[in-house]
A = this chain, B = another copy of it.
Amino acid sequence: MKIIKYPTEAERAEILRRPAIDTHSLYEAVGRIIERVRSKGDVALRRYAHEFDGVEFEDFAVSELEFDDAERSVSKELKDAIAIAKANIEKFHVAEKPEPYRVETTPGVTCWKKWLPIERVGIYIPAGSAPLFSTVLMLAIPARLAGCREIVMCSPPQPDGKVNAATLYAAKVCGISKVFKIGGAQAIAALGCGTETVPQVYKIFGPGNQYVTEAKLQVMRWGVAIDMPAGPSEVAVFADETAVPSFVAADLLSQAEHGADSQVILVSTSIDLITESLSEIERQVSKLSRKEIAQKALANSTAVLVASVQDGLDLLNEYAPEHLIIACEKTEQLAEKITNAGSVFLGNFSCESAGDYASGTNHTLPTNGSARAFSGVSVLSFMKSITYQSLTKDGIAKLGPTIETLATAEGLDAHRAAVSIRREWIGA
């Protein structure tokens, strides 16, 4: 990790910069995959399974038997842990119930709003360097709580042609029975367009590499919604001299092990905390199974010494990290001043991995600075709202002239006429 002390404007811009991707070449490559899945359906999916995953399929659907095998192969200990995580995620997510509301805006003009589940949703679970069964919980639980009628899951097949056992078990305990062994951009295309086997869905959720993200952006052109454009995972740690260097190091490493492109930032008012944490990283990294990945990520990472707590907050709010750990005195006060972040972890005992798995918050969070405008996944992400209005005769008599004036000013005659014809009819 590079240390930057009291960054200049240019250094600050450098810290805030996110890695760029060559979207143009991605656009072409992914566009071809989508077009082929759209026009050839299952035939294209079989071809990609052979080409990208090295497996031959007649049927992509995970069978009852495969679900049962998966369940048998998952240990009792893991099952218990999944049950605890599931209970916590449910407890936190169920508490956000969007309420309908109704307002009479003008006598005789009543407007209301109501939230409904999105009827068909798709969940994509990657299986690249790690089988992310925890993401099944994070997406399927709010989908169930929202009341989605059909939840379709896709996950890439392993070389043996199966989906990871823990992933399937997690799907089963969340009540998902439609799981397809399809990965990458072709899975997003299948969910977005539908094929003979895979049902078309209205919104697609889940992380993935840049092909998956590009495919999600492309299917938006047909009115398919997506959770968010996902980039490499990130953590920022804001620590002062009350933080524990070995904890800070462990937290930075737990993000760094995700991938060589992981974004890791340490911001502190204490140079001692920075140097001690960096020494701790050296000590801890050698013990990790994924140490090469973590080391690559750390090589591109920065520790920033700031002149004041306010400077640190300004930098972090502008950076808008996916995960933000605040290991400082008065954490609650500082957390109040955070305006842009996906999820915030307060104090020395709130490590990011708690939120990644089991605290109850969602781990599908906005990356790449998009926390400035996007929220993490919640029950609301699986719902949409509809507004309603009902005007009585009195309502249109009272509000009609206003509507007529506004429509006339916009040059929209027929809009005005739709009101006038009603006012004439009732003699208003």
Q: Which residues of A contact B (CB under 8 A)?
A: 18, 23-24, 27, 31, 77-78, 80-82, 84-85, 87-88, 91-92, 95-96, 101, 103, 105-106, 109, 111, 113, 116, 118-120, 129-134, 166, 202-203, 217, 220-221, 223-225, 229, 231, 244, 246-247, 250-251, 253-254, 256-258, 284, 287-290, 294, 331-332, 335, 338-362, 366, 368-376, 378, 384-393, 395-396, 399, 401-403, 405-407, 409-419, 421-422, 425-426
CA distance A373 to B191 in the complex (A): 14
Q: A109-B360, A354-B391, A354-B419 are in contact. List 15 more A-B contacts (CB 8 A).
A: A80-B405, A87-B105, A88-B105, A116-B339, A119-B340, A223-B369, A251-B418, A254-B418, A257-B415, A342-B387, A343-B387, A349-B422, A352-B418, A357-B406, A358-B402
User: Could you write out 19 A-B pairs with CB less than 8 Å apart?
Assistant: A23-B221, A113-B378, A118-B372, A202-B373, A217-B217, A223-B369, A253-B418, A258-B412, A288-B417, A342-B387, A346-B389, A347-B390, A349-B392, A349-B393, A354-B403, A357-B406, A358-B403, A360-B389, A361-B387
Set of chain B residues within 8 Å of A378, measured between Cβ atoms = 113, 385
> Which has the most chain B C-beta neighbours within 10 Å: A254, A289, A353?
A353
The answer on a CB contact under 8 Å between A388 and B344 is yes
CA distance A376 to B413 in the complex (A): 25
- Asked if A402 meets B85 with Cβ closer than 8 Å, knowing A354-B396, A373-B202, the reply is yes
Query: Which residue from chain B places its CB closest to the CB of A359 in the assembled complex?
Result: B389
Taking the closest CB of chain B, its distance from the CB of A201, in whole angstroms, is 9
> Which has the most chain B C-beta neighbours within 10 Å: A77, A371, A410?
A410
The answer on a CB contact under 8 Å between A417 and B253 is yes
Partner of A416, one of B353, B361, B390: B353
CA distance A335 to B78 in the complex (A): 46
Report the copy number of this chain in the oligomer.
2
The answer on a CB contact under 8 Å between B105 and A92 is yes
- Asked if A375 meets B368 with Cβ closer than 8 Å, knowing A244-B425, A250-B417, A419-B354, the reply is no
- Asked if A370 meets B229 with Cβ closer than 8 Å, knowing A101-B95, A105-B91, A409-B78, the reply is no
Set of chain B residues within 8 Å of A18, measured between Cβ atoms = 223
